[in-house]
Amino acid sequence: MITRMTEQRRTLLRRDTTISTESEFALFDARGRPLGRRETEGTIERARNEFGSRMRWRQTEVVAEVAPNAIELKICFSTVAEIREDLAAAYRILGRIIAEMGIRIISTSQPTTSGAIGEGLTHFLSTDIFQKSAENLAATNSVQFHVGIESFDEGLAVYNAANRFASPILALTQCAVIDGRERGRAALVAEFFENLPSELANPWNMQSIGDYEKGMESARQRVEEIVQRMAPERIAELAVRYPTFVTTDGRVLQWTPDKIFQPARMRLDKEVPGMGLVGSVEFRPIDGQPTLQATIAAIELTLGLLAQPLTHHTDTLEKADRDIGSATRRIAEYGLSAISWNGLGSTERTHRQAINGIISLGLVPEQLSETSPLDGGNAEFRVIQNLSPEDIIGVNHRRFMRSVGVD
């Protein structure tokens, strides 16, 4: 088993490995007022028409997110070799649409809105089961990508490697002062994760598909235990609101991988038989960056580490590796010093290993050659610490638009 895993890690990524990205943005009018749901839907419809005519070679979608003024840009079925160009092309199209409509746009990890998160299945665990606000979490981790996998063993190698350096990536890419408060984005994430059941928050120690199925069932059972301790009238209310997930006697049904909170999670519900994919591994702890270039740098940093076998081990995750709560608390306390976690040593070594990984794929690490945007949010704090929320929105809107070549 160790030999096979070692070999898979040496070829964890290829130039033709399927990569899909998801980027979340917040929309405002010219005065900095968050758009309402209906206004946002109008922008989405415009964007869908534009992307349908300009990016026919790539499946690209723009969908509504949970906040009323938030959208998500999906680039599906790109590759390691093509994702940089695809991301740049999609961001430029989005920038032109925003300019023509006379509205403002920023990454949702930038200060956005205190508007209520809408009800729905996306956050029902957070808001209705664990009784936590989803607003802080919804304003973070707003760039995700999926690595397409052709077998469970391949996915297992990606899953274990990605979860090992998830915390350093979280530390490097934390970006925003949330709603004008101090630079504490990682602390907000840590607070959210702190009291979550370990069955949902901590990466599982997996060696086989049986371990995956056991992890899924353990998570479902843990949530069911929480539900069944609720008052009967509360259970009845949940059963009415979420009839496909909760029964009137408190049983939890239809448990799916998107209800797991791990930083990198196995998505066997994302199979694409026509492309030979049995699913994907979703990497989530990347904060939305203010510019196209910084976003590409964050993604390339992660892909480079996945491609570089020196950054992870050949064995399975140990318990200490799986304690995401402890890891995020360390990041909240020490910021970039969390890069030393798991032996990566320093930000310089991390970047160097990532660059080596990118080069090993035959790519030129354009964005990683300038790594200053990824400094754990220090530069962002200096830019916006003395600005009003309205000015912060304006500054970051202009930075995004310049980064995609639209003034």
pLDDT in tens, 120-178: 555 667 767 776 655 555 555 689 999 999 999 999 999 988 887 776 677 677 765 44
Q: What is the mean pLDDT of residues 218-236?
A: 94
- Position with higher pLDDT, 270 vs 190: 270
Least-confidence region, from 106-110, 198-202, 323-327, 361-365: 323-327
pLDDT confidence bin for 342, thresholds 50/70/90 = very low
CA 173 to the chain's CA centroid: 11
pLDDT score recorded for residue 172: 72
Phi, psi of 38 (to 5 degrees): -65, -40
The token pair at 172 is 């490097």
**What are the Cα distances from residue 156, in Å, to 202, 334, 391?**
15, 30, 45
With a cut of 60, say whether residue 363 has pLDDT above it. yes
With a cut of 50, say whether residue 312 has pLDDT above it. no
Least-confidence region, from 76-80, 129-133, 184-188, 254-258: 184-188
pLDDT score recorded for residue 69: 87
Mean of all residue pLDDT scores within the chain: 77
Q: What is the mean pLDDT of residues 81-102?
A: 94
pTM summary value: 0.83
Q: What is the mean pLDDT of residues 238-247?
A: 90
* Single-letter code of the amino acid located at 42: G
| 371-406 pLDDT tens trace | 445 666 666 667 777 777 788 888 889 999 999 999
Burial group, residue 147, by CB count within 10 angstroms (0-12, 13-18, 19+): buried
**What are the Cα distances from residue 341, in Å, to 167, 221, 355?**
8, 32, 19
In order, the DSSP letters of 145-199 are: EEEEESSHHHHHHHHHHHHHSHHHHHHHH----GGGS-S-HHHHHHHHHHTS-HH
Q: What is the mean pLDDT of residues 7-25?
A: 79
pLDDT confidence bin for 287, thresholds 50/70/90 = confident
How many residues make up the chain in this entry?
407
Domains of the chain: 2-9+16-117+134-218+257-403 (3.30.590.20)
CA 273 to the chain's CA centroid: 24
With a cut of 70, say whether residue 325 has pLDDT above it. no
With a cut of 60, say whether residue 110 has pLDDT above it. no
Q: How far apart are CA 360 and CA 307, in angstroms?
A: 7
pLDDT score recorded for residue 233: 95
pLDDT score recorded for residue 350: 62
With a cut of 70, say whether residue 117 has pLDDT above it. no
Q: What percent of the chain has pLDDT over 70?
A: 67
Q: What is the mean pLDDT of residues 310-337?
A: 45
pLDDT confidence bin for 407, thresholds 50/70/90 = confident
Q: What is the mean pLDDT of residues 7-18?
A: 71
| 37-88 pLDDT tens trace | 899 999 999 998 888 766 555 788 898 887 788 899 999 999 999 998 999 9
Phi, psi of 104 (to 5 degrees): -115, 155
pLDDT score recorded for residue 295: 87
> 165 forms bridges with which residues in the sheet?
none
**What are the Cα distances from residue 363, in Å, to 231, 300, 304?**
57, 10, 10
pLDDT score recorded for residue 395: 86
Q: What is the mean pLDDT of residues 304-328?
A: 54
Q: What contacts 171, CB < 8 A, 6 or more positions away?
A: 186, 331, 335, 336, 338, 339, 376
pLDDT score recorded for residue 275: 94
pLDDT score recorded for residue 365: 65
